[in-house]
Amino acid sequence: MLTRQNVVNILTLDDCIHAVEEAFRRHGRGEIGEPGILGMHVEGGGFHVKAAAMGGHRPYFAAKLNANFPGNRTRGLPTIQGVIALFDAADGRLLALIDSIEITILRTGAATAVAARYLSRPVRSVVTIAGCGNQGRVSLRALARVRDIESAFVWDVDSERARTCAADLSSVISRAVTPTDDLCAAARLSDIIVTCTPSTEPVLGPDAVRAGALVAAVGADSEHKQEIHPALMARAVVITDVTAQCATIGDLHHALSAGSVSLDHVRAQLGEVVAGVRPGRTREDEVVVFDSTGTALQDVAVAALVYECALATSSGTTLMLQ
């Protein structure tokens, strides 16, 4: 059994980015099967189960059960709480129960970094982060690993939260990070925009994004959440983490429902771009939207990494459930 602190002690952001990039690459090559997802809503929040198997020198299966309750901030509780069950996919043995909070935070930021590495223009970048919770913070940290950041803006519905986030992250990435009350104005100045809010309506429209920008849309991880206006999806090149999942719960889902795009509008899945089997950005002036709903491909890759590191360092607590 591995607690959140165990994971913090074991897992670095750089290692997480590497593991997630490799998971997407293997998915793009067809070496990893399609992940599964199940969601259930309850009053004030919801639960989802994400599962995937991964072959290799040792095959693994992971199932993550996460609770997502946006109102938990007022209760002094994490918005996202959960557990990852990691199994040996060769014989079915349960190998580990791992607190999911840190893995979920880091692997989501890692996916944004991988998307930026392959889909953003390789220029000194101005970045805007919409949403100053854990995901917003890790997104900027992760982007700083793969792109030369000139400066950044941070926006949140809670202005004080944005100011605190800006002060904290300025010292972390050693760049100017400015809080803003005008998300669209900041986005128009940006090369990379990350949206990681719990919004149920668009926060970013087609007029708020300049030519050549990358938008990493992270917040829509259920069918009720939406951050990107369907008109922006129609204007942009759309890259998904997993197209079938995005068509059900992502911003792609809303664009499809609005009739703004069809599935043919999706150029590729991120893994296909990473593997080199489909193109991502093909022109400097293209606006690219990465619809990032969060997949169990990321969870199984990072959970396996954490488990193997835990074995090597004798971390965690050994339990016998049988």
Contact 218, 114 (CB under 8 A): no
Residue pointed to by tokens 């223009």: 121
The amino acid at 49: V
DSSP character string of 12-63 = -HHHHHHHHHHHHHHHHTT-SPPPEEEEEEETTEEEEEEEEEE-SSS-EEEE
* 225 in catalytic set: no
Instruction: Name the one residue in this structure whose structure tokens are 């639960």.
Output: 47
DSSP state of 2: B
Rounded CA gap, 106 and 136, in Å?
11
Greatest Cα-to-Cα distance within the chain, rounded to the nearest angstrom: 58
**Which is the catalytic residue, given 25, 26, 50, 64?**
64
Q: Which element (helix H / strand E) includes 205?
A: none
β-strand 60-68 against 45-54: which pairing, if any? antiparallel
Cα 249 to Cα 98, 112, 195, 239, 281, distances in angstroms: 25, 18, 15, 15, 24
* Phi, psi of 298, rounded to the nearest 5 degrees: -65, -45
Contact 11, 102 (CB under 8 A): yes
**Structure-block tokens of residue 170:** 């300025």
Q: Report the distance separating Cα 230 and Cα 4, nearest Å.
A: 37
- Distance, in Å, from the CA atom of 155 to the CA atom of 178, rounded to the nearest integer, reads 9
CB of 53 closer than 8 Å to CB of 60: yes
Catalytic machinery residues? 64
